[in-house]
Amino acid sequence: MKITKVSEEILHVLYQEQEALTRAFCRIQESFESPNPDFKGQPFTLGQYRVWYTEVYGAWTYYTDWNGFNIPSDSLKPFVEGLFDPLTPEEKELVDLVRYRNGDYYLIGTHEDDDAFPHEICHALYCVNQPYREDMTEAVENLTNTESLEKQLLEMGYGEDSLTDEMHAYLAVDAKHMVDKYSVVLPTGYRKIIEIRQKYFRELGVEI
């Protein structure tokens, strides 16, 4: 894997393979925003999470279900401080990259076989860039006919408290994918979200 700095506040970790990525990020991501309160913000073992995930989704398919991750630095602190020990080798390798980093930052992770980078950049900007967050929040609030998209996101495993963030990211870069793969009816007004994304991506120097 390799780590690069997208901006002063955004770090990107790129893995060669999906499984290495998901093994490293699984517990870190789910402690940040799992829809299950037994895991969100709570220490848990990988075994405990595997049992729950298998019960809900019918099989342990996490390592092939997800292609990108996004984590604010606060969510990494419990792993740095040892609350999730013992770390797996993949978790330790990732945590050691940021163990001594000071200040707030946002960490995104992707792998080479899937282009999840633009989607994860949307999440990063939503967290670290207040004007972006305000513009996107207003645009999401002005959407109509959002039921199809919201239902699909909940079925994909996202929590209700992260719907605004997820809706904006999927509409900003993955609208066609949501239609083609899930037959989602796109909300009226979603093109405004694409326009906002294009503006801030240009300022950041990110091209898609």
Q: Are the CB atoms for 168 and 117 separated by under 8 Å?
A: no
Rounded to whole angstroms, how far apart are CA atoms 95 and 84? 11
Query: Which segments of the chain are extended strands (E)?
Result: 2-5, 10-15, 68-72, 106-111
Rounded distance, CA 54 to CA 13, Å?
27
The 8-class DSSP code of residue 144 comes to B
Predicted structure pTM score: 0.88
In angstroms, what CA-CA distances link 182 with 107, 148, 153, 174, 179?
A: 28, 10, 10, 12, 6
Q: Walk along the chain (208 residues) and give the pLDDT tens digit of each residue.
A: 999 999 999 999 999 999 999 999 999 999 999 989 999 999 999 999 999 999 999 999 999 999 999 999 999 999 999 999 999 999 999 999 999 988 899 999 999 998 899 999 999 999 999 999 999 999 999 999 999 999 999 999 888 889 999 999 999 999 999 999 999 999 999 999 999 999 999 999 888 7
CA angle (105 as vertex; 104, 107 as ends), nearest 5: 145
Distance, CA of 45 to CA of 47 (rounded, Å): 5
| Backbone dihedral angles phi then psi of residue 112, each to the nearest 5 degrees | -70, -20
Domain ranges for the chain, please list them. Answer: 2-114, 118-204
Tracing tokens 């630095």 back to the chain, one arrives at 73
